[in-house]
Chains A and B, each alone.
Chain A
């Protein structure tokens, strides 16, 4: 932390962004032909890939089938080459399991599971390059993939990370800012209603600043939503052109 100024006097961050500015987001839907739905997203240098299979019959034990809803199964995997030092275990370690659980919880709340009883929806997320905000990138990629698969959802699920330095809240943290050890908040939001699907925070933040940081994260998530909305519309337009409608 010594020597590296996360927020300069003029209000610029390490990579030249302003406090509330997001990184450049590029997204593509329908990346793979085999999967029911797929999407690829780049948030700055963070690259994540999401693939959705379903709704299909429950694989494995039939006893897990829920009579009135679909089962959502999420797996998070972070490639060994995604971080600066080679990662030993891409999945199966506790952090990946936790991420998988959190993704499952987020999407179980957002997908209209009552429409597909006794079936299973699989969401696989792979992080190709981790440069901060991996949870947010995964959620955004998974949202696009689910939409590409045509599974009905209540609303977009848009996520963004936020931090707090020197009395100002920063939106969309990069790896350098995360490693500095300040508080980090990851927020997944349904933009239309403002409901929070998932809230996770690390490190010490004084209670009085909580509202400010939450507000910054919510605003950033809404910005992400506008971008994702544009991507979806463009994709649908392209697809309908190909079909010749």
Chain B
């Protein structure tokens, strides 16, 4: 869930490393007083379990996981229990207030990424930096400047003074983070007592849930006018659009370009039908012809009407009422026209009869 590279189910190297590091950091450093978890010596004891779920991976999982674990442990309240002789009574949350765990100290991990054989050092690497780093050094410290765990990984060669320098930086970071944690815990306790809202949803900032908003950035518009004038002066004058009648063939004229067909792109078969029909109307000229029309406009400013003869449209012959049609298609059309008058004569005959 956290990153595209993570596959579910497989116990990868990273998981093992993270698990072991957190175990050592939290368990071996004895941050929790385990003796206080005993209920009946030798028989009953409280078992504490920390489950970590990584939601989003943007680098440095180790630090985030260690902070989450220790804060969860500090925030946790276990049910109160009382022992009278052999009887053990477990009180629910309503009967008695739950008891917090006794935490001695808060170990927090700080990661350092090394680049170029130790020349460069980055604290708290993000995902991209992690991908190209040479090696990683993790130092877990608490606010009393006690080192709980050190682990170097990734096969980098360290020098002793680098390690010492990192431990000093870690000390500073851990102090800041511990203060932040204390404040957050106090805040939460206060809010719970007052009866306000608390929980995961409340802790996420409102802006981030629904929209990714960009903050308003002031734009300097003081010298926009001067710039506009400069641009206008330097630009070329737009070409003059002269409406000239374009003669496609004798008997037709086109003034202007007409409005583009707003019915959408006609299918090719329909276009062919249109060509076949042919006519002396200018509207039937389709988009292809429009394009050629534009080219003609820019070619020259002649006064004589321009006669177009596209080589593409050789097949199409515009019907002239007084000329004989040359092609078969148009013959059919002419046949139709000839039939029309005959129909009329037929009608007349019928009427007579």
| Chain A contacts for B29, CB-based, 8 A | 202-204
Pick from A16-24, A102-110, A129-137 the stretch touching chain B.
A102-110
In the complex, A199 Cα to B160 Cα: how many Å? Answer: 10
Pick from A93-101, A145-153, A228-236 the stretch touching chain B.
A93-101
| Chain B contacts for A200, CB-based, 8 A | 150-152
In the complex, A212 Cα to B156 Cα: how many Å? Answer: 22
Contact of B157 among A97, A190, A203, A205 (CB under 8 A): A190
In the complex, A206 Cα to B146 Cα: how many Å? Answer: 4
| Chain A contacts for B147, CB-based, 8 A | 183, 201, 204-207, 210
| Chain B contacts for A202, CB-based, 8 A | 24, 28-29, 149
In the complex, A197 Cα to B156 Cα: how many Å? Answer: 6
Q: How large is the interface on A (under 10, 10 to 19, 20 to 34, 35 or more residues)?
A: 35 or more
Asked if A195 is at the interface of the complex by the 8 Å CB criterion, the answer is yes
| Chain B contacts for A195, CB-based, 8 A | 157-159
In the complex, A193 Cα to B16 Cα: how many Å? Answer: 31
* Known contacts A94-B19, A207-B141; is-contact A201 B158 (Cβ 8 Å): no
Asked if A198 is at the interface of the complex by the 8 Å CB criterion, the answer is yes
The answer to whether B146 touches A201, judged by C-beta atoms less than 8 angstroms apart, is no
The answer to whether B164 touches A211, judged by C-beta atoms less than 8 angstroms apart, is yes
The answer to whether B16 touches A97, judged by C-beta atoms less than 8 angstroms apart, is yes
The answer to whether B20 touches A98, judged by C-beta atoms less than 8 angstroms apart, is yes
The answer to whether A109 touches B157, judged by C-beta atoms less than 8 angstroms apart, is yes
B180 nearest CB across to chain A (Å): 21
Q: How many residues of B contact A (CB 8 A)?
A: 35
In the complex, A101 Cα to B159 Cα: how many Å? Answer: 21
The answer to whether A109 touches B20, judged by C-beta atoms less than 8 angstroms apart, is no
Asked if B256 is at the interface of the complex by the 8 Å CB criterion, the answer is no
Asked if A214 is at the interface of the complex by the 8 Å CB criterion, the answer is yes
B22 nearest CB across to chain A (Å): 11
Asked if B163 is at the interface of the complex by the 8 Å CB criterion, the answer is yes
B223 nearest CB across to chain A (Å): 56
| Chain B contacts for A102, CB-based, 8 A | 153
Asked if B167 is at the interface of the complex by the 8 Å CB criterion, the answer is yes
In the complex, A24 Cα to B167 Cα: how many Å? Answer: 33
B 7-29 to A, binary, CB cutoff 8 A, 1 in contact else 0: 00000010011011000100011
- Most chain A beta-carbon neighbours within 10 Å: one of B29, B152, B158, B167: B152
| Chain A contacts for B154, CB-based, 8 A | 105
A148 nearest CB across to chain B (Å): 22
Asked if B171 is at the interface of the complex by the 8 Å CB criterion, the answer is yes
In the complex, A181 Cα to B34 Cα: how many Å? Answer: 14
Within 8 A of A (CB), among B109-166: 137, 141-142, 144-160, 163-164
Minimal Cβ-Cβ distance residue in B for A197: B157
Asked if A112 is at the interface of the complex by the 8 Å CB criterion, the answer is no
Asked if A196 is at the interface of the complex by the 8 Å CB criterion, the answer is yes
The answer to whether A204 touches B146, judged by C-beta atoms less than 8 angstroms apart, is yes
Asked if A11 is at the interface of the complex by the 8 Å CB criterion, the answer is no
Asked if A67 is at the interface of the complex by the 8 Å CB criterion, the answer is no
Minimal Cβ-Cβ distance residue in A for B13: A101
The answer to whether A201 touches B150, judged by C-beta atoms less than 8 angstroms apart, is yes
* Known contacts A94-B20, A101-B13; is-contact A109 B156 (Cβ 8 Å): yes
A 209-233 to B, binary, CB cutoff 8 A, 1 in contact else 0: 0110011001000000000000000
The list of the 4 closest CB pairs from A to B, nearest first, reads A195-B157, A109-B155, A201-B150, A196-B158
Chain A positions near chain B (C-beta within 8 angstroms): 94-95, 97-98, 101-102, 105-106, 108-109, 181, 183, 185, 190, 193-208, 210-211, 214-215, 218
